[in-house]
Amino acid sequence: MVITEASSSSNTGNVNQWLISIMRGNGEHGQKTRIQKVPPMLREIQANKTCYDPSVVAIGPYHHGKPQLELAEKLKTTTARQFVSESGKDITVFYKRVAEVAGDARKCYAEGSTDNFDDIAFTKMMFLDGCFILYLIDFTVNKKPNHMKMKCHDIAFVLRDLFLLENQIPFLVLKALMSLRYQGEEGKHNMDEFINQQASAPDCRPEQTVDIDPLHLLQLLRTKILGHPRNPGPKCSPGKDWHSFRSVTELSAVGINCKRSKTCCLRDVEFKSGIYGTLSLPPITIDDSTKSKLLNLIALETCPDAPDDSAVTSYVWFMDGLIDRAEDVKELRSKCILLNFLGSDEQVADLFNQVSTDLVPDAHAYEIVKGEIEKHYNNTCRSWMAKMYNTNFRTPWAVIGLFGSMSYDGCTTIAWQSDASGILNQSNVSNKTWEVTYTIPSAYWEQSGSTQHLLGLPPCKCDKPDVSERTAEMFDTME
């Protein structure tokens, strides 16, 4: 409500009504979930500007009538004719069914956004758009002949356009058409299979989710890729132990390795700590449509009536912390966590960096995982063991060199002990007690004067016993 000087000086009765309306919440848009527009603050990010508008086809009222999308409007009549003819029913039956739900469908859009459409024009738009979507789903899932005469790259762009926030029609329109076109569960099966194809990696299936009544396709996609909510467990103090996020290569250097989760659900992120840590991440396909899908899912979560958990936003922010450079992408790709159909590893790293610009994730998202990673990362003993492994056991040649050095130094130690024993006997040093605590190959010692350092352990002194000149020379040689 805009308060003007005139309205602020209204009579007492009007003021009271205004105050009552505030307390009752009358007129607030957040009370009903609607198909919203992309928030302006997201559209202002230059690198992401082209990811919110359709390239080939307009679905719904927000982009309807744009000249650059006119070609697809002619295609919609072809798909509607093909979709209806395969049912054996008259086309008027389909149109009347859509007209029955058109009034409720109009209420699903932002207030005032459909004022330019009268009831007939709005119903026609819902009918053609609904038939087009369902025909495309049937074509994609069941590999039917291409009556649309579209090229493969055009179909790819159309599929991208179906998951834009501002390019949606209410799901109730699709349900009305499916009830006439399909028998039994065939329509639901096609829809589930189509969303699974868009939501998962090629060799991974999402977990089964509870039946929901989504507002539109994009919301259905979000539900599928997130899976069931995980038990958050006890909450940590945010920021107490989480000083900075660690990239994949930094984590690997201290013995924290990534592996592929059992499901494709973005919530399926776990960490297990042992001698080595294991971070389980869900696989995700990165292609030309990934950036657009993620940004529009984030836009959906940014809307006033959005879900409270911001789960996709938090996932993208989490992955951006893991991915700084192409080397991080390469590591995740080698574990089949990132399936790169986009291009170079550098392009994938740039994608996550661009999508995560100005994100505000859920403050408690992944806090248990992050706390466990930080605890493992700061464990000096585990870090030391991981560094020793990375230095000396990463390749077969390093292992061969290690055992060769150990064999050589072992022989040297035995020879020295035998020689020293004879010298000590000759010198009649019977009151000296010798204790060998450990024998470590010389390859692991760093020389610093008379002090030797072993892989970060505290320095130790090697004092020369005053026995004989020959014994002293042997200690000089060992140093």
Query: How far apart are the C-alpha atoms of 443 and 405, rounded to whole Å?
Result: 7
Mean pLDDT of 93-101: 98
Q: Which pLDDT score, from 0 to 100, does residue 463 have?
A: 46
Residue 11 sits in the same domain as residue 92: no
Residue 311 sits in the same domain as residue 437: no
Total domains present in the chain: 4
Residue 162 sits in the same domain as residue 254: no
Q: Which pLDDT score, from 0 to 100, does residue 11 have?
A: 67
Query: How far apart are the C-alpha atoms of 78 and 9, rounded to whole Å?
Result: 59
Which of 328, 357, 392 terminates a domain? The answer is 392
Is 156 or 443 the better-scoring residue by pLDDT? 156
Residue 18 sits in the same domain as residue 53: no
Residue 23 belongs to some domain of the structure: yes
Is 456 or 107 the better-scoring residue by pLDDT? 107
28: phi then psi, degrees, rounded to nearest 5: -75, 130
Domain with 12, as residue range(s), is 1-31
127 pLDDT band, cuts 50/70/90, is very high
Mean pLDDT of 167-177: 98
Residue 458 belongs to some domain of the structure: yes
- Condensed to tens digits (0 to 9), the pLDDT of residues 129-169 reads 999 999 999 999 998 877 777 888 899 999 999 999 999 99
Q: Which of 75-89, 97-111, 273-287, 420-434 has the lowest mean pLDDT?
A: 420-434
Q: How far apart are the first and last CA of the chain?
A: 83
Whole-number average pLDDT of the chain: 80
| DSSP reduced 3-state for 218 | helix
Q: Which pLDDT score, from 0 to 100, does residue 423 have?
A: 47
471 pLDDT band, cuts 50/70/90, is very low
Query: How far apart are the C-alpha atoms of 218 and 163, rounded to whole Å?
Result: 5
Q: How crowded is residue 15: how many other Cβ atoms within 10 Å of its Cβ?
A: 13
Cβ atoms of 299 and 39 within 8 Å: the answer is yes
Residue 329 sits in the same domain as residue 279: yes
Task: Indicate if the alpha-carbon torsion angle 215, 289, 364, 38 is positive or negative.
Answer: negative
88 pLDDT band, cuts 50/70/90, is very high
Residue 159 sits in the same domain as residue 255: no
Residue 313 belongs to some domain of the structure: yes
Is 28 or 379 the better-scoring residue by pLDDT? 379
Of 199, 198, 177, 203, give the one whose Cα is nearest residue 188.
177
Residue 205 belongs to some domain of the structure: no
Query: How far apart are the C-alpha atoms of 363 and 270, rounded to whole Å?
Result: 17
Is 150 or 77 the better-scoring residue by pLDDT? 77
Q: Which pLDDT score, from 0 to 100, does residue 317 have?
A: 94
Residue 376 sits in the same domain as residue 440: no
Residue 443 sits in the same domain as residue 363: no
Residue 136 sits in the same domain as residue 253: no
Which string of DSSP letters, residue by residue, matches 290-357? HHHHHHHHHHHHHSTT--SS-HHHHHHHHHHHH-SSHHHHHHHHHTTSEEE-SS-HHHHHHHHHHHTT
Residue 382 belongs to some domain of the structure: yes
Residue 437 sits in the same domain as residue 360: no
Residue 124 belongs to some domain of the structure: yes
Q: Which of 206-215, 270-279, 299-308, 432-441 has the lowest mean pLDDT?
A: 432-441
350 Cβ contact list (under 8 Å, min separation 6): none
Paired tokens of 63: 């982009």
Residue 109 sits in the same domain as residue 157: yes
Paired tokens of 454: 């072993």
Residue 233 belongs to some domain of the structure: no
Q: Which pLDDT score, from 0 to 100, does residue 21 have?
A: 77
Which of 368, 392, 416 terminates a domain? The answer is 392
Residue 212 belongs to some domain of the structure: no
Residue 278 sits in the same domain as residue 326: yes
